[in-house]
Chains A and B, each alone.
Chain A
Amino acid sequence: MEFSSLRFADVIVVAPVGRIDHATAEALQLKLEPLLVAAAGMGGALVLDLAKVEYVSSVGLRVVMMAAKHLKARKARIAAVALQPIVREIFEIARFNHVVELFPSLADALQELSAPARAAYDAGNGSVVP
């Protein structure tokens, strides 16, 4: 699946595109794994920017749960931002609004998660994560 990632200080922002379902969830998980290790290693956070995600199925939500478990076990945080209305409904029906912190925008999330990350974002200092 189409996917991009940026680092702002101690926060990694991941932006998948399209549907996260049985056809794409495994690919997303594989791409997420090194980023989870990196975010946890910094003691920071991982943010899922879902602005371009149209739909998440149960299999896709499982990937989000695995990410949340990995990060929380290492005292790191996870958030999701810019959910489209339907994706937000799915998160709420599945009670995933209790699993990840939800924010209207990336700026709001960075403000809450990390002052250095918010400063880097405001300065346009995001670096591409290989």
Chain B
Amino acid sequence: MKRVRFWGTRGSLPVALTASGVRAKVRAALHGASGRTFASDDELERYVDALEFPISGTYGGHTSCVEIETGSGEYVLCDLGSGARPFAQAAVARHGPDAPQTYHVFLSHLHWDHIMGMPFFGPAYLKGNVIRIYGGHAEIEAALRRQQGKPSFPVEMSIMPATLEYVRLEPGPVHEVAGMAVKVLKQRHGGDSYGYRFTAGGRTVVYTTDSEHRLVNPDETARFVDLFRDADLVIFDAMYSLADSISVKADWGHSSNIVGVDLCHLAGVRHLCLFHHEPACDDVAIERLLKETRRYEEISRSGSALHVSAAYDGMEIDW
């Protein structure tokens, strides 16, 4: 594995930066530059680079879609949220219409925010492409067809000329896909969800979203620690605060930054990436969450340091 690229990182519903949000960023950047001059574009770039991320950038608003570059020549995606659309545009632009590709797509579950990108998935409209969709649910094909059926969408899936295949993965055995060893774990979420552990070339990435941890069952905790064990990167649902996730939002099927750190520490993970951001959170709120999580990691650390990041649309993690 060479790289993980985030195309959609938001939970539940896509969100967009508003005009007032952009204005606040411009104001903050101009305020910081008050009285300064920039002798060159390079100097200006350095100033922008030094700004805090909520001023110079945005976490973005597409729902879940993460690409894992394996080096195998075939594409691997986790989930088909609205972030699948910019992924698809980039892939089609890269290869053109006459160079068929294979796309392996692992679905965490079939809730709308994780499949809403399928009707806009450009490679599905090109003959010769193979799109193989994996998941733990028996109803993957039915859910995708229903989403795209009348009266919800004008183009039925039966019209898509690419070859669409559906593969049900059972938790337990190790599956071989695109040169990777893939382990699957059922997670606590309404209608169930599935977490994935991908290993190739001595590197391991875990994708675990829409997963609630109740912290009451040691066996359940042990199963997740086993899934995370010594991973290089864990992409983790940190949608709510710990207090909310075990009180007013208990049974909503999501987790917290605190639980992410604790599980990663128990499992000896190297890098925790906070994911599936609450749509009500703006860039400042997510940045605060990141800083607090890094502080909690520092406080709670008893062994090696765990690097903590917060995913944003367009972020890449290289090795």
- Please, how many angstroms separate the alpha-carbon atoms of A29 and B6 in the complex? 41
Nearest opposing residue in chain B for A100, CB measure: B243
Residue B50 lies at the interface, judged by CB distance under 8 Å to chain A:
no
Residues of A within 8 A of B299 (CB): 55, 86, 89-90
- Please, how many angstroms separate the alpha-carbon atoms of A57 and B266 in the complex? 12
- Please, how many angstroms separate the alpha-carbon atoms of A93 and B243 in the complex? 9
Q: Which of B62-70, B172-180, B256-264 contacts A (4 or more CB under 8 A)?
A: B256-264
Residues of B within 8 A of A69 (CB): 247
- Please, how many angstroms separate the alpha-carbon atoms of A61 and B214 in the complex? 11
Q: Are the CB atoms of A94 and B215 closer together than 8 Å?
A: no
Cβ of A84 to closest chain B Cβ, rounded Å: 11
Indicate which residue in A86, A94, A99 contacts B258 across the interface (CB closer than 8 Å). A94
Nearest opposing residue in chain A for B240, CB measure: A95
Nearest opposing residue in chain B for A60, CB measure: B215
Name A92-111 residues within 8 Å CB distance of B.
93-96, 98-99
Q: Are the CB atoms of A99 and B243 closer together than 8 Å?
A: yes
Indicate which residue in B216, B241, B262, B300 contacts A95 across the interface (CB closer than 8 Å). B241
> What bracket does the count of chain B residues touching chain A fall in?
20 to 34
- Please, how many angstroms separate the alpha-carbon atoms of A65 and B214 in the complex? 12
Residues of A within 8 A of B293 (CB): 93
Given A57-B300, A59-B215, are A99 and B262 also a contact pair (CB < 8 Å)?
no
Q: Are the CB atoms of B243 and A58 closer together than 8 Å?
A: no
Residue B292 lies at the interface, judged by CB distance under 8 Å to chain A:
yes
Residue B49 lies at the interface, judged by CB distance under 8 Å to chain A:
no
Q: Are the CB atoms of B246 and A62 closer together than 8 Å?
A: yes
B138-152 interface code vs A (CB 8 A; 1 in, 0 out): 000000000000000
Nearest opposing residue in chain A for B291, CB measure: A93
User: Would you call the interface of chain A mostly helix, strand, loop, or mixed?
Assistant: helix
Nearest opposing residue in chain B for A85, CB measure: B299
Residues of B within 8 A of A86 (CB): 299
Cβ of B220 to closest chain A Cβ, rounded Å: 12
Between A22, A58, A94, A99, the greatest number of chain B beta carbons within 10 A of the residue's beta carbon is seen for: A58
Cβ of A60 to closest chain B Cβ, rounded Å: 9
Residues of B within 8 A of A96 (CB): 242-243
Q: Are the CB atoms of B247 and A94 closer together than 8 Å?
A: no
Nearest opposing residue in chain A for B257, CB measure: A93
Indicate which residue in B214, B215, B258, B262 contacts A93 across the interface (CB closer than 8 Å). B258
- Please, how many angstroms separate the alpha-carbon atoms of A86 and B299 in the complex? 7
A67-86 interface code vs B (CB 8 A; 1 in, 0 out): 01100000000000000001
Given A58-B215, A90-B296, A90-B299, are A65 and B259 also a contact pair (CB < 8 Å)?
no
Nearest opposing residue in chain A for B246, CB measure: A65
- Please, how many angstroms separate the alpha-carbon atoms of A62 and B259 in the complex? 11
Cβ of A21 to closest chain B Cβ, rounded Å: 8
Cβ of B216 to closest chain A Cβ, rounded Å: 7
- Please, how many angstroms separate the alpha-carbon atoms of A55 and B301 in the complex? 11
Q: Are the CB atoms of A58 and B247 closer together than 8 Å?
A: no
Contacts A/B (CB < 8 Å), 19 sampled: A22-B221, A22-B266, A55-B300, A57-B300, A58-B215, A58-B242, A58-B262, A59-B215, A62-B214, A65-B247, A69-B247, A89-B295, A89-B296, A90-B299, A93-B257, A93-B295, A95-B243, A96-B242, A99-B247
Please provide the 8 A-B residue pairs with the shortest distance between their CB atoms, ordered closest to farther: A95-B241, A95-B243, A94-B242, A93-B292, A62-B215, A58-B262, A58-B258, A58-B259
